[in-house]
Amino acid sequence: MDNDDRQIGRLLTRREALTALGATGALFLLRCSNGSSSLADNGDDDDLPLGCVVRPEQTEGPYFVDELLNRSDIRSDPATGIVKPGVPLELTFNVTRVADAACVPLAGVVVDIWHCDHLGVYSDVDDPGFNTVGQRFLRGYQVTGDDGVVRFTTVFPGWYQGRTVHIHFKIRSEPSADPGFEFTSQLYFDDDLTDQVHAMEPYSEKGQRTLRNAGDGIYAGGGSELTLDVTEDDNGLAAAFEIALQITTS
């Protein structure tokens, strides 16, 4: 399971992306020549309204499975009820849309997340290192409400060879939407925090990871803009992630 994700396309600056959008009238991510999509934040805030946060798109990787699991708590396998162990993580997405020179909550969009367990294993995958077909732990989606917010309860991810620690996410329109859109990327953690978490059970069973953020080729494509600001609460860890989408209908 080495290097499961491969960076695709080139990252565009925010100005390049939004300039092109003025001509194409599409989602704020752009199609590269090889069919991939990407957008990066180059730190120039003049192109977007105050408070809008642009994030780079990154590769989906091979482990997305559209399970149609509408649930907030993704820790368990629905078939068995077995809950994956690990440090609890409450993850909130604040999804907005750039409209009328402001950022407004984006309601009715689907937010999927999926990631590996404490041993680096994904569910519902036939992989050379494991076969979990039929299991659906650590996967699920929520639909944003009028406030553009969804919340997930999960656990801090483990690691596997070839990647730094990460969570995959996808934001997409509901199937009936016309035109539809889809944005896919990954979330990361501060190295020091990961070291602390992985020194504890059940993560310590696997040992310390072999790759940190700086050595991950996917992280290099905008990972600093996708690193979560994690805090502690009474239940474990918590993080909120803000992202703005540029969507036009013409």
At 119-156, the pLDDT tens digits run: 999 999 999 999 999 999 999 999 999 999 999 999 99
Question: What confidence score (pLDDT) does residue 24 get?
Answer: 28
* Two structure tokens written together for 173: 């329109």
pTM of the model: 0.82
One of 3.30.930.10, 2.60.130.10, 3.20.20.70, 2.40.240.20 is the CATH number of 58-245, namely 2.60.130.10
At 247 the pLDDT is: 76
Sorting pLDDT into bands at 50, 70 and 90, what band is 196?
very high
Q: Domain residues of the chain, as ranges? A: 58-245
Task: Looking at mean pLDDT, say which of 10-14, 56-60, 82-86 comes out highest.
Answer: 82-86
pLDDT at 245: 87
Where does the pLDDT of residue 102 fall: very low under 50, low under 70, confident under 90, or very high at 90 and above?
Answer: confident
pLDDT of res. 27: 36
For all residues of the chain together, what is the average pLDDT? 82
Phi-psi map region of 36: left, alpha, beta (phi>0 left; psi -120 to 50 alpha): beta
Task: Give the pLDDT score at 4.
Answer: 54
Q: Say how far apart CA 147 and CA 126 lie, in whole Å.
A: 38
The distance from CA 197 to its chain's CA centroid, rounded to whole angstroms, is 20
Q: Which stretches within the chain are classed as H helix?
A: 14-24, 191-198
The model's pLDDT over 13-41, given as tens digits with 9 standing for 90+, comes to: 333 333 333 322 223 332 222 222 222 33
CA 88 to chain CA mean position, Å: 17
The answer to whether the CB of 156 falls within 8 A of the CB of 187 is no
Q: How many CB atoms lie within 10 A of CB 22?
A: 8
For the beta carbon of residue 161, count every other beta carbon within 10 angstroms. Answer: 13
Half-sphere exposure of 160 (CA within 13 A, CB side): 20
Cβ pair 20, 27 in contact under 8 A: no
